Amino acid sequence: MKPGDLEQHIAQLHPASFAWALTCCSWDRTEAEEVLHSAYVRVLEGRARFAGRSSLKTWLFSVVRTVATETRRRRWFREVALKRWLEGTPPRDSVAGPDEVMASEERGALVRHALQQLAIRQREVLDLVFFHGLTIEEAAQVMGVALGTARVHYQRGKRRLLALLAPEEMHEAG
Amino acid sequence: MKPDDDDTLKAALAEAHRADTARSPSFDKAWRAARRGSQTRASPVPWLVTCATLVTAAGLAMWLVSQLGPPPAQIPAGTVWRGPTDFLLETPGLVTLRTVPQLVPTLPDSVLRPDPDARRGNP
């Protein structure tokens, strides 16, 4: 693939990549933008190279996920470990509280809150399959796990998310 | 799990991402920023300086080690071992066995090696 073609394909995938970066960063917009920027830098520098073993979308999403994981690890070290050690302050809670979510009166926020209660891998596999339209096999490639592992996360995540969303559905029906 | 559960989840995730597409930053802007970032980072000078420093430090360390010479010979700990049942061999007669006894220490040399002429009876 020529560099120009690659750029064009990445441009087409840009909105989806940003949505995926948001999922990887627990809907933190600033962090998602940083992650996407770093992923693009990695592509341009040739540190992430598309070898054609999977679809471009799968490859780009796996680059974004890798960068997001590294960023999350660095942030954890900076905010939690170092801050706690230096100042003795409690870590920042990235997940919004239920009251805050209820106050927003937005269904999307409620779903996001439910998603953030899932394990990271469960959230990722559900997002990749149900929003980005990937197969479980492709999701496993993006996440860098075995197909069986991805299936387990998919089943458990589905069950858990449905249980978390169920009271709301009942409330809407009633 | 019901078959329409998939539709429920699909709708829920679409809802969660509804605002994302509208909020996504412009690709051209993001790509240009990344290109700038890659050009600044791509400079090999810092890497070369780091590598040169490391090589010099390693060479200096090796030279220093070679100047110090071999370490003094020492019996490493644990090479002399005494068995826990060794004391059982310490019998009262062990002192006798450790030294070779002098059988006739007091006899003069002439007794031990007699003169051959005297035996034949010559004057």
**A11 in reach of chain B (CB within 8 A):** yes
d(CA A150, CA A44): 30
Low-confidence ranges of chain A (pLDDT < 70): 1-3, 88-106, 167-174
Q: Which amino acid makes up residue A156?
A: R
Q: Which domain holds residue A174?
A: 104-174
Instruction: Calculate mean pLDDT across residues B62-80.
Output: 75
Q: Are A141 and A147 in contact (CB under 8 A)?
A: no
CB–CB contact B9 A29 (8 Å): no
For residue range A80-125, list pLDDT tens digits in order.
Answer: 777 777 776 555 545 555 555 454 446 788 888 899 899 999 999 9
Considering the domain architecture, whether residues A161 and A113 belong to the same structural domain is answered as: yes
Q: What DSSP assignment string belongs to B48-73?
A: HHHHHHHHHHHHHHHHHHHHH-PPPP
Answer whether residue B51 shows pLDDT above 90: yes
Query: Could you tell me how many CB contacts below 8 A there are between chain A and chain B?
Result: 85
Taking alpha carbons only, the member of A110, A137, A132, A161 closest to residue A64 is A132
**Residues of B whose CB is below 8 A from A162:** 1, 5, 8-9
Question: What distance in Å separates the CA atoms of residue B121 and residue B123, rounded to the nearest whole number?
Answer: 6
Are A4 and A88 within one domain?
yes
Mean pLDDT calculated for residue range B59-83: 78
Residue that wins the pLDDT comparison between B105 and B20: B20
On whether both A78 and A140 belong to a single domain, the answer is no
Instruction: Among A77, A95, A113, give the residue marking a domain's end.
Output: A95
Same domain, A78 and A118: no
Confidence at residue B42, expressed as pLDDT on a 0 to 100 scale: 58
- Whether residue B38 and residue A107 make contact (CB cut-off 8 A), yes or no, is no
CATH of the domain at A163: 1.10.10.10
Q: Evaluate whether A161 touches A78 at the Cβ level (below 8 Å).
A: no
Of the residues A41, A60, A95, which one is the last residue of a structural domain? A95
**A88, A112: one domain:** no
Q: Please report residues of A whose CB lies closer than 8 A to that of B16.
A: 108, 111-112, 115, 131
Q: List the 86-115 stretch of A: residues with Cβ below 8 A of B.
A: 107-108, 111-112, 114-115
Interface predicted TM-score (ipTM): 0.72
pLDDT number for residue A155: 94
A112 plus A86 within the same structural domain? no
Q: How remote is the C-alpha of B96 from its chain's centroid?
A: 47
Structure tokens at B92: 């009262």
- Domain end call among A44, A64, A95: A95
Residues of A in contact with B47 (CB under 8 A): none
The letter for the amino acid at A3 is: P
- How many domains in chain A? 2
Residue bearing tokens 């060794």: B86
C-beta of residue A150 within 8 angstroms of C-beta of residue A140: yes
* Phi-psi domain of B82 (left: phi exceeds 0; alpha: psi -120 through 50; beta: other): beta
Query: Which of A7, A11, A158 shows the shortest C-beta gap to B9?
Result: A158
The tokens 């409330």 sit on which residue?
A171
Together in a domain, A148 and A85? no
Q: What is the pLDDT at residue A135?
A: 93
A87-105: burial string, b at 16+ Cβ within 10 Å, e else: eeeeeeeeebeeeebeeee
Q: Are residues A86 and A132 in the same domain?
A: no
Picking from A127, A114, A133, the residue whose alpha carbon sits closest to that of residue A21 is A127
One-character DSSP codes across B89-117: G--TTHHHHHS---SSSSS-HHHHS--HH
Instruction: Give the number of other Cβ atoms within 10 Å of residue A171's Cβ.
Output: 8
Q: Assess whether A151 and A173 both reside in one domain.
A: yes
Quick one: which of A157, A163, A130, A143 has its CA closest to A61? A143
- Residue in chain B lying closest to A156 (CA): B1
Q: Tell me how far apart the terminal alpha carbons of chain A are, to the nearest angstrom.
A: 54
What CATH code is carried by the domain that includes residue A85? 1.10.1740
Query: A91 with A108, same domain?
Result: no
- A11 and A72 in a single domain? The answer is yes
Average pLDDT, chain B: 77
On whether both A87 and A152 belong to a single domain, the answer is: no
Tokens of A136: 């479980």
Helix A29-45, helix A3-24: angle, nearest 10: 150
pLDDT at B3 over 80: no
- Nearest 5°: phi and psi at A14? -55, -50
Q: Do B37 and A18 touch (CB under 8 A)?
A: no
Q: Name the residue among B12, B27, B41 with its Cβ closest to that of A45.
A: B41
Q: Tell me: the pLDDT tens digits for B14-49? A: 888 887 777 778 888 888 888 887 777 656 777 889
